[in-house]
Amino acid sequence: MGAGDIGPSGQVTAIRGAVLDLRFAVGALPGIGEAVLVRREAGTDVTVEVQAHLDAATVRGIALQDTTGLRRGARADPAGGPLEVPVGEAVLGRLLDVAGRIGDGGEPLPAGVPRRPIHRPPPPLRARDGAAELFHTGIKAFDLLTPLAQGSKAAMFGGAGVGKTVLVMELIHAMVASYEGISVFSGVGERSREGHELLMEMTGAGVLGRTVLVYGQMNEPPGARWRVPLTALTIAEHFRDEARRNVLLLMDNVFRFVQAGAEVSGLLGRLPSRVGYQPTLGTEVAELQERIASTGAASVTAVEAVYVPADDFTDPAVTTIASHVDSTVVLSRAMAADGMYPAIDPVASSSILLDPLLLGEEHVRVANEVRQAIEHYRGLQDVISLLGMEELGSHDRRIVERARRLQRFLTQPFAVTEAFTGIEGRSVPVAETIAGCSAILAGECDDWDESALYMVGTLGEARARQAAARRAP
């Protein structure tokens, strides 16, 4: 069939895994970023996003679904624009894939549900709102050291097995009790087990009605994992801009988004850049992150988990993502090994929101003193391990003892781990956290057993535990 005989529809001329070449009539090529529906004889159609124009009649695209069963010559119909996904009240309580198809086995979405394109520009700078209304999560280390404000972005960086997903799930659990807005969860390249657990937990907690779950799982093609954060963000933006409702966007895991982009880049034949990443790494991360913003009437607030490959915090993907966030929560493998959960590193974690004008003088003073005490203790750890605590001066010994108590006080049991630990989860108001840390820094707990402060909520609970230990024979 010649190019001039194809008509408005095109046809598949080559399939290389997730990469498809499509031929159209000259002058009728869909634009870059636009969607094309490739018809499959058995099963659902495959959505292809155009990535390159090879010549006057051929485009190359990346499939957003599995291409098993596709063949050359299959019909390809341009969608006339970018992929559009369902948004609005109808998607609340549902689990969707990258194209907005239902994945929870429930009823199909109603016919008139509004749809929006996944590609759109970020809000203009003049429309953004700098007002900072703080989120209080009830997690002591998070609230004290890396506070989160509406319209801001927080990222949790950590290697494999240090507790990123557990911390994200605890944040969801902590916020649904007090947070009245919409939650959108984006599972990027995650295990199906984790998605199932989250769905069951939200159903059990009765908060699924205010939540949208959007998944591009580990077993799906790279195109799905690459675009699923944009699907989730499009749903979040609709609630922010048209429903004027605050949205909490949770992403687990943003590194998988970068990883999928690297796979797509390699499949399209682009030369890799540093450490094998795609040359467009900075652009792709910015296109996602810059759409997360507050626009005055409402805001999108993001909490993102970021896997750190081989615990290398200088990895290009990690440093690129870190440059866009307001609060950086670093999870420490050494602290996790010592049983200090959540394993939030007080020294490496930081936030631009730790400002007296936002939080007050007392909060910032206590946070800085906690960080300085623990940093001082770490600087002396080699001396302690070689010579023992007895060789330290009285001043240094006092700081070390208080730093060890602060580390234990900043641990707390989580509601989501209650089934495994048997310890009831605790949510601690930020004022109680500040008061407890201030008391430890002032020396009120110098004669307490360190174990009294481990895995407790407030200082009052620790005081009761210490009193009970003293009464015990």
User: CB of 434 within 8 A of CB of 363?
Assistant: yes
Q: How far apart are CA 64 and CA 46, in angstroms?
A: 7
Sign of the Cα pseudo-torsion (120, 124, 127, 130, in order)? positive
Q: Report helix, strand or coil for 128.
A: coil
Task: List 216's β-bridge partners, or say none.
Answer: 188
Place of tokens 């990535």: 51
Amino acid at 167: L
User: CB of 153 within 8 A of CB of 327?
Assistant: yes
* Pairing outcome for strands 182-188 and 148-149: unpaired
Active-site residue 444, yes or no? no
Closest CA to 228 of 257, 199, 250, 196: 257
* Pairing outcome for strands 211-216 and 182-188: parallel
> Given 72, 191, 244, 274, which residue is catalytic?
191
For the CA atoms of 61, 62, 65, 71, what is the dihedral angle to 10 degrees?
A: 50
Q: Report helix, strand or coil for 67.
A: coil
Strands (E) located in 161-209: 182-188
Q: How far apart are CA 444 and CA 436, in angstroms?
A: 10
> Given 60, 116, 153, 164, which residue is catalytic?
164
Closest CA to 332 of 366, 363, 378, 364: 378
User: CB of 328 within 8 A of CB of 351?
Assistant: yes
Sign of the Cα pseudo-torsion (145, 150, 153, 157, in order)? positive
User: CB of 344 within 8 A of CB of 416?
Assistant: no
Task: List 116's β-bridge partners, or say none.
Answer: 85
User: CB of 264 within 8 A of CB of 62?
Assistant: yes
* Pairing outcome for strands 10-16 and 46-53: unpaired
> Given 190, 194, 220, 263, which residue is catalytic?
190
Place of tokens 């009790």: 177
Residue 286 corresponds to which tokens in the numbers above?
A: 């910015």
Is it true that the peptide bond before 473 is cis, omega within 30 degrees of 0? Answer: no
Q: Which phi and psi (to 5°) does residue 251 adopt?
A: -125, 125
Active-site residue 369, yes or no? no
Active-site residue 220, yes or no? no
Place of tokens 């108590």: 405
The residues that are catalytic are 164, 190-191
